[in-house]
Structure 1
Amino acid sequence: MDNFKGNRSKKIWLLTEVVAGILFAMFVYFVLRGKENVLAGFIRILTSPTVLITDFLVIGGMGATFLNAFLIFIFNYTLMRLLGTPLNGIAIASFFTVFGFSFFGKNILNILPFYVGGILYSKYEHIDFKDILVTISFTSALAPFISEVAFNIHVLSEYAYINAIVLGIVIGFIVTPLAKKMAGFHEGFNLYNLGFTGGILGAVIASVLKLYQFVVVPQRIISTEHDLELKVISSGVFLSLIFIGYYINNKSFSGYKTLLKDTGLKSDFVIKYGYGLTFINMGIMGFVAMMYPILLGQTLNGPLLAGILTIVGFSAYGKTILNITPILFGVFLGKFGSTTDGFTIALSGLFGTSLAPIAGVYGPIWGVVAGMLHIAVVQSIGVIHGGLNLYNNGFSAGIIAGFLLPIINTTKESVNKRRAKYLQRQKALHDLIRKTEDNLNEKW
């Protein structure tokens, strides 16, 4: 296993710079191709409401979307480098998750107020901002609130921009203590804790907005034109992760079977298995995740790409092929007998793998049950926050985990009690037989 600290860590930072370079190269490619006005598309991305579901590939085009992705990636990378944030599993998960949602809901403007709020909170609590940076980066799940308040055409106000900034700062300030409290509800069995926290917080804020007749119009803007390009780009990234991981892991896949057996519950793969095996897992999981919507007959788009990249990121912090497959299968089974469309099944399956630790700890059957419940709940739960929490599946997963855990534990306790009683009876019967044999032997 490679070392987590030292020069190896510096080399990993160099790899993130390579990824940033690839993003910038893609942006330049689409600019030079000249089929779209990148600047105009980028402005549309910045100034459009981003309520679920808003695919930036439709709003701004490929060039503008990759520019947005590049800027967000560089912003988080620069912050982490300047503050000295360790590049552990959860940090990698945040990198890829925020990066994924830069194709779908998050832009370089609507995430900034949360960071300001986080900085103010760190000053207020006298802690280092780097200690909560990952939490704040995940908090950008509520980025649509900023865009909606600032650019909602149904609510005209000269103070709209200021209101949006203040709202974002307040969210960034209060989210860290909320996230710590909410983690206890699902006991870590929902990997997207900030999705659950964002759902609760989003429900409260959305209710306040509704009280004052703030109109949020749901959207369903989904791209269908860039399937091949996204598959080629994604495949290149996933292959690179596998090759890089193979090289770092002393040019071998040694130890990967051990990683696959991990339950995924509160598991930082970087710390437990090293960068090499973690990157190998991320690359393989990228292909697995990409195959799920393909097998369902879906073309890749911004939202599905966000789901795939989120799986890749959390393959550094809990997800393996073995613990996500039951969830994916459970979501797929939920399709039968319902009117749910293929896109919803694909998207809910990808993000529903947040429940992977349930399958990892309690077995594949409970994983399938969790997946089936998830597809049912996630389609209704968005109404609570008005579609303004991008991690809607994380919200649903938190509810499912909190609901299932007592049932699973009660069932297991009941089974264990029956098993213990059975073993006691078997032991008593064995002792009786043995005692009888001894008595007979004494008589003879």
Structure 2
Amino acid sequence: MTGKPLPPRMADLLGHPDLAPLWRTIAARLEGNGLSPAGVVKANLGDEAADRLSGLLGATVNPGPAVRINLMHLDAAFRRSVAATGLLPAIAALTGTALADRRAAKQQQDAERAQMWSEIDAALADAGLATASWVQAWQDALRQTGILTRAGITTATVQAKVAVSALRLLADTTVPALRPVSTGDADPAEVARSWELGQLAAAVSGDAHGLDDDRLATALTVKALALAAGTQPPASAAERRAVWSAAGVAPDSVSGTAIVYGLRPPGDDPWSQMMRSRADLGLVSHLTVLELAALPDEVVLASPGRAVWVCENPQVLQAAARTATAATLVCLLGNPSSAGSMLIRRLVLGGSSPAYHGDFDWSGVAIAGRMIAAGCVPWRLSANDYRAAVSADAARLPLSGAPVRTEWDPDLSRVMAATNVAVHEEALLPLLLADLSATFPVR
């Protein structure tokens, strides 16, 4: 509710700064009270505020820290005044803010949320999934995180229905565990052994991009798939790809890459020969999931005993290629994609111990922890290395985010927290390039 301007003399009388806290208190009370001018508010009134309020009420108001103001009496006073208006428009004029019925707004919001959940429940029932073991945990998680309400009721309802449609299709084809009971009466000829992600998205949303990573329906679908499989909901793009793959859905397997320089697989197969030729020419190669997945298990990516170095930032690999180092270097481009994770896994399974280096910041050491857990060894990632890097780096950027434990060197996280300086990998290029061009004992 808005209010027309008060008469000038009244606006001057009641617009005094000492009365502003009272008007704001009354506005909050009215908005939470269904815009009803009823009840009492308490206010801290000084001499000036009490004197001006007395003039409005036609009765003496004594100053004090907890003066009780009856809203019905105040409403009547405004109606008797030259403004000839009720309390609500007067308060709106004095605060300069339209009053809203928050109680009614909350009731409307509650009704819309109830309708949204009713439609989701109906969609689950129509899909035959309502009594599946994962549904209650899925709905509880959605309520606790507020992921639906943050998206807006209309968007959330549409996206949730897309997710349920995707789950229904997967339950009918590749993931029978999504259903409460597997009936076993599906026609094998109609059961898809796998889906392309775009194909599935088009089938359930009419849009081949309807299950892209940035869509709410994707988050809802993979959360349900993870719960049905008894695994943790995915927290990264690589983990989402793993959930899709486990459900018989092939995610994009060509755009995410890992970059390699100087990779010389020892085998006689055509791919190994090609990679050695590219290495001899000093070329950089981008390896995709599609390419790595097509390699037979017997293809070894690096000769036994040959050092393999792994960096986070492409500037390191670019500098290594420019200087024509003889080293083998892999760049994961930050948090590793599926291609990066697959490449590291293949190297480790082939007998390599890739040496990993990344940024000295919290996200960087978190990535390092995951890479070391995957079989890499730390490369200049000790507390002493960090101290030396801080001394050499003039940027002095502060750390951001939550601290991360560094299991390979517990002192590192303690020193980083105490120093509060981030050092990015590219700031250490001369040191890293020197390691790549020499025989360097990995630490």
Fold match by TM threshold 0.5: no
- Structure that is richer in strand per residue: 2
Give TM-score scaled by structure 1 length. 0.22
TM-score (norm 2): 0.22
